[in-house]
Structure 1
Amino acid sequence: MAEEMVVKPDIEFIKRIQSAGGESLKKCFQCATCSVVCNLSPDSRPFPRKEMIWASWGLKDQLVRDPDIWLCHFCGDCTAYCPRGAKPGEVLGAVRQVAIEHYSTPTFLAEMVNDPKYLLFLIAFPLILIGAAIHYFGNFSPEGPVVYSKMLKPWPYVDFIFLGAAAYAVAVFAKGVMAYWQDLNVNPWKVRLKENVWLAVAEVVKDILFHNRFRKCTTYFNRSTSHLLVFLGFVGLFIVTAWASSYEWIFHKESPYAITDPIKWLAIPSAISLLWGIWLVIRDRQNPPENAGPGSYFDWLLIWVIAAVAVTGALCLVLRWMGLATLAYPTYYLHLVSVFFLFFYAPYTKMAHMVYRATAMIYAKLAERE
């Protein structure tokens, strides 16, 4: 006799998925076309068919801890071939958003970040914080040549604000990832962190660096290029930031740096990569393949924040070269605000994909899920 299973649907969870971009969920009639056409789905317990079932039933606990929602890279193949227009790719995107909210601390902040009616409030926080720092410890309109450190000294003010934002984001990510790993590492896929863990990490890092999984996509194949450009731009600019910090803290070398300085040889190509990549992302999102949508607010929030960081950063450089102080310093202020927004709210936006997806990919390697 078959074992009985009691299903207790979470109606609010279903509504949350639908409101987060998965409004087509109930069109699914379980034909499994999505799992068949997906080039990333494993042969055993393939996705996204089972996730569509769980989402339709409102099985929140089952879904948020499911590694397969992160192994999905939203190739769009499932959405393009779905005969019912159920858009499994968009549904899994909504599930990932809910999973981020579930593992984030505090949860209410994650919900605010992903609700457009709170956007102005969220922007106001860094505007006021950085504005107050400039008002009390710096100068909104310094005299002489454009030197951004005259507006607000990097140490202790800029560094303190941004190191604090980064530390907060890291702490929230660490708490969320530990909770997620604990939920992941249960039967039927319980794994041990054994001797091959570093090999798994190395393989995942290689996959991320070269976007190997993205390149298996068909419908959204061009996303592999745009995402890779954005990713490489971020990596390059992160190295530039660390490099500049060493100039400031160790060698006591103040900015601005000459165009012949090696730091510029990395900074300028990285900025171009970021600008080019985010432009391609915006272009592709505005012209989606047939049957696919342009994306949800959750998708576009990160896109526009990255665009703001890239554009204001580039303008800061150009306006400084042109000596237009009246435009350069307000632009630098907006650049600081956009960078703070990007990193402080990172655990609650789509940027969290990098952390939770990497965790799921490592788990999948250890569990031989791939």
Structure 2
Amino acid sequence: MADIIKPDLSVVKQIISSGGESLKKCYQCATCSVVCKLSPDDSPFPRKEMINAQWGLKDKLVSDPDIWLCHQCGDCTAYCPRGAKPGEVIGAIRKMTIGHYAFPEFLATMVGNIKYLPLLIAFPVLFLLAVLGATGHLHIPEGEIVFGHLMPHTIIDAVFVPVFMFAAIVFAGGVLRFWKNIHGQCNGKCSFASIIPALISVKLEILAHNRFRKCEVNKGRAIAHMGVLYGFIGLAITTALAVFYLYILDRHSPYPLNSPLKIIGNISAIALLVGITLMVINRFKVKAQAGIGSYFDWLFIWVIYTVVLSGILSEVTRLLGIAMIAYPIYFLHLVSVFFLFFYAPYSKLAHMVYRTIAMVYARKAGRD
């Protein structure tokens, strides 16, 4: 007896409202799957994802690793004869999937909806203000500008280590649920022992950005994304060095500009700023062919801008000795870093994690 498939209109509406408003224009010609250079020959994407989205088949969509193998090059959107913008639809499906695997799910709903943005910003602002007030630091320190005088490293650690741990736990829970859903599609090829070599291979591929280089319409995405990726990596190294300087060498900030920590940190910040700016330029350059992106995409971009610009400006104003500007900008920097990591499992940043897992699956299942 054939299975009866019932469309879920609530899922369809969710996808449409999340940036996939062109979904209903698709008439299943499969041009998108033909022109996509990343799509495998066996059960190619994104045509099947467009079908499932039009029917609102959420279970199929959230357990589909192919939505993460799509790198949103825009080639499918550029060649679609109906203007259905498959790349934008897949982006909306990814947003829904992030929310599905995240916990608590209401935070994903809030991150994905602009009307909640003031509340999302207010939480880290009020929380950090409360911390400063409770510890007697709710004022502009006098004398030499030392950001540790506003918020000592002990308080920084007490606040941000739990934030990072919270994000890591939410990510871990989401990844385990996602892997459980896709593991059955591996046909016994995804044993734990075999995953490690695949993960290493995938990480090397991500560092080289080989898949982005296959894009035709938006070739500049590879350079832009590499700037963002290596900027993040460099800033992670900077953070590790700061911990080493502070707790091993017992050397406190501010550090001279010629120290390895400052050199790596400043170069990484510039790489991140250049990368995210190129990303914005590319979006506007190919918006007619590939779409300009949703609020979900742009929120991530503006958070990165706030993090990097507030970091750079806090250093510049500190060097210029303008305390009344330096400390508020540094506070803004702390707020933006808190925002970035606390909401990471619910934001566009989560695609870095889920895409990696999907690429590992694809490598083991022979779909790459």
Q: TM-score, normalised by structure 2?
A: 0.97
SS at match of 1:186: helix
1:90-129 aligned within 5 A: 90-129=88-127
Q: In the TM superposition, what whole-angstrom CA distance separates every residue of 1:253-276 from its partner, at most 9, and x where no partner exists?
A: 100001121112211111110111
* Identity over aligned pairs, percent: 52
Q: TM-score, normalised by structure 1?
A: 0.97
- Name the residue aligned to 1:345: 343
How far the C-alpha of 1:135 sits from its partner, in A, is 2.0
Q: Which amino acid aligns with 2:149?
A: K
Q: Does structure 1 residue 314 correspond to structure 2 residue 312?
A: yes
1:16-31 aligned within 5 A: 16-31=14-29
SS at match of 1:307: helix
Greater mean alpha carbon deviation, residues 246-255 or residues 232-241? 246-255
| Conservation of the 8 A alpha-carbon contact between 1:230 and 1:277 | yes
Q: Which amino acid aligns with 1:153?
A: P
Query: Mind listing any 5+ residue stretches in structure 2 that lack a counterpart?
Result: none
Q: Which amino acid aligns with 1:144?
A: G
Distance in 2 (CA, whole Å) between partners of 1:162 and 1:154 is: 10
SS at match of 1:185: helix
- Name the residue aligned to 1:153: 152
Q: In the TM superposition, what whole-angstrom CA distance separates every residue of 1:225-250 from its partner, at most 9, and x where no partner exists?
A: 11100110110001101110111122
Distance in 2 (CA, whole Å) between partners of 1:149 and 1:188 is: 50
Distance in 1 (CA, whole Å) between partners of 2:54 and 2:2 is: 20
How far the C-alpha of 1:47 sits from its partner, in A, is 0.4
How far the C-alpha of 1:186 sits from its partner, in A, is 1.7
| Conservation of the 8 A alpha-carbon contact between 1:34 and 1:82 | yes
Distance in 2 (CA, whole Å) between partners of 1:18 and 1:189 is: 33
Distance 1:190 1:66, change over 3 A: farther
Q: Does structure 1 residue 5 correspond to structure 2 residue 3?
A: yes
| Conservation of the 8 A alpha-carbon contact between 1:139 and 1:152 | no
Q: In the TM superposition, what whole-angstrom CA distance separates every residue of 1:24-81 from its partner, at most 9, and x where no partner exists?
A: 1111111110000001000111000111111111111001110100000000000000
Distance in 2 (CA, whole Å) between partners of 1:256 and 1:172 is: 33
CA-atom RMSD in angstroms: 1.2
1:134-145 aligned within 5 A: 134-137=132-135, 138-145=137-144
Q: In the TM superposition, what whole-angstrom CA distance separates every residue of 1:265-324 from its partner, at most 9, and x where no partner exists?
A: 211111110111111112222333433321100000000000000000000110011000
How far the C-alpha of 1:196 sits from its partner, in A, is 2.9
Distance in 1 (CA, whole Å) between partners of 2:70 and 2:3 is: 28
- Name the residue aligned to 2:358: 360
Distance in 2 (CA, whole Å) between partners of 1:193 and 1:305 is: 38
- Name the residue aligned to 2:51: 53
Kindly tell me the number of residue pairs found equivalent between the two proteins. 367
- Name the residue aligned to 2:331: 333
How far the C-alpha of 1:199 sits from its partner, in A, is 1.7
Runs of 4+ with >3 A deviation? 187-191
How far the C-alpha of 1:192 sits from its partner, in A, is 2.8
- Name the residue aligned to 1:274: 272
- Name the residue aligned to 1:244: 242
Q: Which amino acid aligns with 2:145?
A: V
Q: Which amino acid aligns with 2:15?
A: I
| Conservation of the 8 A alpha-carbon contact between 2:98 and 2:346 | yes
How far the C-alpha of 1:191 sits from its partner, in A, is 3.5
Q: Does structure 1 residue 213 correspond to structure 2 residue 211?
A: yes
Distance 1:115 1:190, change over 3 A: farther
Q: In the TM superposition, what whole-angstrom CA distance separates every residue of 1:141-176 from its partner, at most 9, and x where no partner exists?
A: 000111100001011x11111111100000000000
- Name the residue aligned to 2:74: 76
Distance in 1 (CA, whole Å) between partners of 2:192 and 2:118 is: 47
